[in-house]
Amino acid sequence: MVEATLELTVERRARIIVGAGSIARLPRLVAGLDPHRVAAVVDGNVPWSLVDAVRDGLESEGIPVSVLRVRGGEGAKTLESVERMWRFMAEEGVTRQSLLLAVGGGALLDAAGFAAATYMRGIMLGYVPTTTLAQADAAVGGKTAIDLGWAKNLVGVFYHPDLVVIDPLLLRGLPSGAYMPGFAEVVKHAAIKGGWWLSWLESRAEGIKSRDPRILDEVVRFSVSVKLEVIKRDYAERGYRAVLNFGHTLGHAVEAASGFRVSHGYAVSMGLAAESLLAVEVAGLPPDEASAVEGVLKALGLPTQVPLTPERLLEAMRLDKKFTRGKPRIPLPRRLGDFTIVELDWGVVKSWLSRVTRT
Ligand SMILES: NC(=O)c1ccc[n+]([C@@H]2O[C@H](COP(=O)([O-])OP(=O)(O)OC[C@H]3O[C@@H](n4cnc5c(N)ncnc54)[C@H](O)[C@@H]3O)[C@@H](O)[C@H]2O)c1
Ligand SMILES: [Zn+2]
């Protein structure tokens, strides 16, 4: 018999650059990783002007670039789309010394990250997030995934990008549907950090709505720093990282029950409002703190009412991969900034859903 123990450590380092105008630094930063070539996988809705700027910048550093445009949105997170990326890389001569550069929304990043993690057992990876949600949340944390039919994020791996360049100025030209939903994740990060931060965010609501570049820079930096803090505290997702799921139990149910017609960010917004009310009942959250969460969501113009029946939501929750073998366990605030995991009876879930839905 042979017995052995391997000490496994995570050696990949993610360099994350956040700041207005940081896209100009992308070519030098990529060159610093010394890739033989770059396969750029770009969200189909990203304007050509950005694609051309990225390509020209990399080529001026002497790096050969091939570009694949992929349909953006949740449809990017399919095996077919990942297969397109794998085939593209094989045809373009991408090797282990190459880098996949994903440019786009959170869905595109999740799928391209999975393609990079699995192609030749893992190649270098860079992210240029272009939606608010991707900048404020999805580009950081190393989770990659694709959906399996209705089962969101069912297949994926942890794989940290080598480089993430987050330029909040890219958000200014976005259509509203790519701009607004991501602020729900920023509200979530403020709630994780504490009540003072919710007020801080609310005081910036007008600047966010008018797309003030200084405010966008500040808010995206804040959001990324909170997510990084949480991940550093719980790299392996053993417990604390669960706070990042605040608003997501109901949020995922809303996404699924709406057939993904409600976007992730808007679903999370509804989830944050509804789960704050639940927290008052089962976790002792002071009612004024639940109102503060709802208040900032409303100030930002984010949805707080759930436009689905309790029956459909309950059905979606029962199909949630996290709960199929038992009762839902969900992170809820005892106070803003102080979370606990609460196990819920299905009866409690049912009566809660009937109170927070309006159809
Ligand atoms: N990996 C993670 O940790 C993590 C965290 C949060 C969310 N997510 C995932 O992120 C996804 C949601 O991300 P999202 O809100 O960015 O949605 P998305 O990726 O679907 O993008 C929203 C829309 O914006 C478009 N778009 C992207 N860039 C654009 C540009 N420059 N100009 C115009 N349109 C543009 C996209 O094509 C899409 O139609 C979900 O699949 C969610 O599960 C992942
Ligand atoms: Zn989310």
Pairing of β 124-129 and β 99-104: parallel
* 39-48, 112-121, 250-259: range with lowest mean pLDDT: 250-259
Per the model's pLDDT, the better-predicted residue between 5 and 241 turns out to be: 241
Per the model's pLDDT, the better-predicted residue between 244 and 2 turns out to be: 244
Query: Does 325 score more than 80 pLDDT?
Result: no
Cβ-Cβ contacts under 8 Å for 7 (sequence gap 6 or more): none
Distance, C-alpha 120 to centroid of its chain:
25
Distance CA 158, CA 167 (A): 24
Specify the DSSP element, H or E, that contains 15: strand 15-18
Say if residues 106 and 96 touch (Cβ distance below 8 Å): no
* CB of residue 72 inside a 6 A radius of ligand 1: yes
Query: Does 149 score more than 90 pLDDT?
Result: no
Query: Does 1 score more than 90 pLDDT?
Result: no
Give nearest CA residue, ligand 1 atom 4: 138
CA distances from 359 to 24, 311, 348, 355 (A): 47, 11, 20, 11
CA end-to-end span of the chain, whole Å?
64
Buried b (16+ CB within 10 A) or exposed e, 290-315: bebbbbbbebbebbbebebebebbbe
Banded model confidence at residue 327, pLDDT cuts 50, 70, 90 = confident
Which of 16, 23, 42, 43 for a ligand 1 pocket mutation test, highest count of atoms within 8 Å of Cβ?
43
The rounded mean pLDDT for the chain is 94
3-class SS at 275?
helix
Banded model confidence at residue 5, pLDDT cuts 50, 70, 90 = confident
Ligand 2 center to 263 CA (angstroms): 10
Banded model confidence at residue 9, pLDDT cuts 50, 70, 90 = low
pLDDT at 323: 73
Give nearest CA residue, ligand 1 atom 30: 46
Q: Give tens-digit pLDDT for 165-202.
A: 999 999 999 999 999 999 999 999 999 999 999 999 99
Q: pTM for this structure?
A: 0.95
Distance CA 3, CA 333 (A): 45
- Average pLDDT (215-230) is 96
Banded model confidence at residue 235, pLDDT cuts 50, 70, 90 = low
pLDDT at 4: 78
* CB of residue 133 inside a 6 A radius of ligand 1: yes
Banded model confidence at residue 150, pLDDT cuts 50, 70, 90 = confident
Query: Does 318 score more than 90 pLDDT?
Result: no
pLDDT at 11: 57
pLDDT at 13: 78
Banded model confidence at residue 14, pLDDT cuts 50, 70, 90 = confident
Q: How many residues does the chain have?
A: 359
**Which 3-state string (H, E, C) describes 87-156?**
HHHHHCCCCCCCEEEEEECHHHHHHHHHHHHHHHHCCEEEEEECCHHHHHHHCCCCECCEEECCEEEEEC
Distance CA 39, CA 87 (A): 11
pLDDT at 2: 80
Assign domain 15-173 to its CATH architecture.
Answer: 3-Layer(aba) Sandwich (3.40)
Q: Give tens-digit pLDDT for 71-109.
A: 999 999 999 999 999 999 999 999 999 999 999 999 999
Query: Does 248 score more than 70 pLDDT?
Result: yes
Specify the DSSP element, H or E, that contains 279: helix 264-282
The identity of residue 358, as a single letter, is R
Superfamily of domain 187-356: Dehydroquinate synthase-like - alpha domain (1.20.1090.10)
pLDDT at 106: 97
Q: Give tens-digit pLDDT for 36-82.
A: 999 999 999 999 999 999 999 999 999 999 999 999 999 999 999 99
Q: Domain limits of the chain?
A: 15-173, 187-356
Distance CA 121, CA 310 (A): 43
- Average pLDDT (161-167) is 97
Give nearest CA residue, ligand 1 atom 39: 73
Say if residues 155 and 145 touch (Cβ distance below 8 Å): yes
Identical fold for domains 15-173 and 187-356, yes or no, is no
